[in-house]
């Protein structure tokens, strides 16, 4: 896919404004929206420097300095790297409407995987032997059922999920917590390179971003939003995968837990989540694609229920949604 020069400049300008204002998406986003009504934000920032300074309240020399620092980082991008904005045809609309969603996505690899349904396979960095086996079997079962295997490139469960998909020549998506040209953990550099060649690497962080610890929670939010559901293979209380489980439920996605994890009395989180809507407890990895198919069919049935005339309609949208949740909870009965 040839580089969209306008999108490239737009993302660069946005990142320069973030750096110059020392703000974030929540504060800079509205400023950039206002600027887009006054100037063409797809043109190089120096063309409209005075307008950027006026709207942001930041001195023009500070914006200029930030722009050239950011530009140097963007110039290191590979020619094949792709930047997507929210109005691009390839933008995954399933991530829209959630808190903390990005303005841009930075992609390297097979862009067609963005259009596939994906399921996150995630968990602890120090899994048990059983956990590794279940992660590998889950990735294989999902991939063969037509789902892309998403994970976060971390040590442990994430790495097993990616490697298992690659070994089976199945689609995998790495949603990372760094810019595309960085790797964390460094030991996974060869794995990230393989996914770039045979899968897709997704980042919400521009080449100019300086990686922070909290980036990885934003990574988990995005990974959950991209996916139709998440499978937490194993994790400790308060771990990153457990945090993503919370994001999945907040985003009304499916969440899968294994029965042996629920039975482990050393962990509190599985019992805290097991009875919530959209949470399914399965005995083995092969159960997950089957339950996804059944859940989707039930949701379609609820959506296609005939609507009563407006004068007789008593059920609100939120009530219909709660009904759908209740139906899904009966999947294992």
pLDDT the model gives residue 296: 76
In a domain, 81, yes or no: no
Phi, psi of 162 (to 5 degrees): -60, -50
Q: Which residues have CB under 8 Å from 89's CB, separation 6+?
A: none
Is 164's pLDDT higher than 90? Answer: yes
Whole-prediction pTM: 0.89
Residues 20 and 132 in one domain: no
Is 300's pLDDT higher than 70? Answer: no
Strands of 76-170, DSSP E: 82-85, 104-109, 118-122, 148-151
Residues 298 and 274 in one domain: no
CATH number at residue 259: 3.40.50.450
pLDDT the model gives residue 206: 97
Longest dimension (CA), the chain: 66
Predicted confidence (pLDDT) per residue in 47-77, tens digit: 999 999 999 999 999 999 999 999 999 999 9
In a domain, 80, yes or no: no
Residues 248 and 272 in one domain: yes
Residues 70 and 201 in one domain: no
Is 314's pLDDT higher than 50? Answer: no
Q: Which of 102-116, 171-185, 295-309 has the lowest mean pLDDT?
A: 295-309
**Secondary structure letter of residue 226 according to DSSP:** H
In a domain, 85, yes or no: no
44: left (phi over 0), alpha (psi -120 to 50) or beta: beta
Residues 236 and 324 in one domain: no
- CA–CA distance, 258 with 150 (Å, rounded to integer): 18
What is the pLDDT confidence band of residue 295, given thresholds at 50, 70 and 90?
confident
Strands of 61-152, DSSP E: 82-85, 104-109, 118-122, 148-151
Residues 154 and 264 in one domain: yes
Average pLDDT over residues 290-304: 72
pLDDT the model gives residue 130: 96
> What's the chain's average pLDDT?
90
- CA–CA distance, 172 with 144 (Å, rounded to integer): 12
Residue with tokens 């009304």: 252
**Secondary structure letter of residue 306 according to DSSP:** P
In a domain, 86, yes or no: no
Residues 251 and 308 in one domain: no
Determine the structural domain holding residue 303 and report its residue range: 294-332
What is the pLDDT confidence band of residue 307, given thresholds at 50, 70 and 90?
low
Predicted confidence (pLDDT) per residue in 194-252, tens digit: 999 999 999 999 999 999 999 999 999 999 999 999 999 999 988 999 999 999 999 99
Is 313's pLDDT higher than 50? Answer: no
In a domain, 244, yes or no: yes
pLDDT the model gives residue 146: 96
Residues 259 and 131 in one domain: yes
Q: Domain boundary residue among 23, 45, 75?
A: 75
Q: How many domains does the chain have?
A: 3
What is the pLDDT confidence band of residue 13, given thresholds at 50, 70 and 90?
very high
In a domain, 82, yes or no: no
């Amino acid at each position: 896919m040839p580089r969209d020069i306008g999108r490239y400049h737009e993302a660069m300008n946005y990142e320069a404004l973030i750096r110059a204002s020392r703000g974030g998406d929540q504060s800079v986003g509205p400023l950039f929206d206002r600027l887009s009504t006054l100037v063409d934000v797809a043109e190089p920032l120096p063309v409209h420097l005075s307008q950027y300074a006026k709207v942001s309240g930041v001195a023009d020399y500070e914006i200029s300095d930030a722009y050239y620092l950011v530009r140097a980082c963007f110039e290191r991008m590979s020619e094949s790297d792709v930047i997507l904005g929210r109005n691009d045809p390839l933008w995954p609309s399933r991530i829209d409407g959630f808190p903390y969603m990005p303005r841009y996505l930075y992609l390297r690899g097979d862009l067609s995987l963005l259009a596939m349904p994906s399921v996150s396979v995630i968990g602890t960095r120090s899994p048990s032997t059983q956990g590794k086996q279940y992660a590998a079997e889950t990735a294989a079962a999902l991939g063969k059922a037509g789902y892309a295997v998403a994970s976060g490139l971390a040590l442990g469960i994430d790495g097993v999920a990616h490697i298992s998909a690659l070994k089976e020549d199945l689609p995998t998506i790495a949603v990372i917590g760094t810019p595309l040209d960085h790797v964390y953990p460094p030991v996974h550099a060869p794995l990230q390179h393989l996914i770039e060649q045979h899968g897709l690497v997704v980042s919400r962080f521009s080449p100019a971003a300086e990686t922070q610890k909290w980036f990885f929670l934003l990574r988990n939010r995005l990974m959950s939003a991209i996916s139709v559901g998440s499978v937490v293979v194993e994790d400790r209380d308060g771990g990153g995968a457990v945090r993503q489980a919370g994001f999945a439920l907040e985003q009304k996605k499916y969440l899968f837990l294994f029965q042996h994890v629920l039975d482990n009395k050393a962990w509190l989180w599985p019992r805290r989540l097991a009875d919530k809507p959209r949470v399914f407890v399965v005995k083995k990895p092969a159960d997950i694609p089957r339950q996804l198919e059944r859940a989707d069919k039930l949701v379609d049935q609820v959506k296609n229920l005939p609507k009563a005339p407006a004068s007789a309609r008593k059920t609100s949208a939120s009530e219909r949604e709660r009904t759908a949740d209740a139906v899904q909870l009966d999947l294992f009965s």
